[in-house]
């Protein structure tokens, strides 16, 4: 079982920036570098959607965040990041970190989830 803990959420004005982090851990050693990691978000009344995913040397982004968000990972620290810039009110959501075997933006394909961190963008 893999535990994921997100941090870095908060409230910002439109145009601002935030950096989310997600630390992965497990009761025993696990191959963090081999997992695909992703950021997903869910706004009130909406379905959970993929934001960005990173594998080994590959990344992909949702069209809505392309050019504004950057996903990265530090395998030496078992940590995933999401640098968010030029934030818009429509980016307001609970942001979740997830891990899985699939390189995908499809939430149902991910195996492990964090508890989420709230991002609120005001106009």
Model confidence pLDDT, tens digit, residues 59-78 = 999 999 999 999 999 999 99
- Residue 30: per-residue pLDDT: 79
pLDDT band at 29 (very low <50, low <70, confident <90, very high): confident
DSSP letters for the chain: -EEEEEE--EEEETT--EEEEEEEEESS---GGGSEEEEEEE-TTS--EEEEEE-SS-EEE-TTTTTTEEEEEETTTTEEEEEE-S--GGG-EEEEEEEESS--S-GGG--EE---EEEEEE-
Is 48 a residue whose pLDDT tops 80?
Answer: yes
- Residue 27: per-residue pLDDT: 77
Smallest Cα–Cα separation from 73: which of 48, 95, 42, 52?
A: 52
- Residue 122: per-residue pLDDT: 98
Q: What is the mean pLDDT of the chain?
A: 96
Mean pLDDT across 23-39:
90
- Residue 1: per-residue pLDDT: 85
User: Residue 12 is encoded by which pair of tokens?
Assistant: 């910002």
User: Residue 89 is encoded by which pair of tokens?
Assistant: 């009110």
How many angstroms separate the CA atoms of 75 and 62, rounded?
23
Model confidence pLDDT, tens digit, residues 84-108 = 999 999 999 999 999 999 999 999 9
């Amino acid at each position: 079982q893999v535990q994921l803990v997100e941090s870095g959420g908060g409230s910002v004005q439109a145009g601002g920036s935030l950096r989310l982090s997600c630390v992965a851990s497990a009761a025993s050693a696990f191959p963090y570098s081999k997992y695909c990691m992703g950021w997903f978000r869910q706004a009130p009344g909406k379905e959970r959607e993929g934001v960005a995913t990173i594998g080994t040397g590959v990344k992909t982004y949702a069209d809505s965040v392309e050019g504004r968000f950057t996903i990265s990972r530090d395998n030496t620290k078992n940590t995933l990041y999401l640098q968010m810039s030029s934030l818009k009110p429509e980016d307001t959501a609970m942001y979740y970190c997830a891990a899985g075997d699939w390189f995908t933006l499809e939430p149902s394909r991910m195996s492990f989830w964090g508890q989420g961190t709230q991002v609120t963008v005001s106009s």
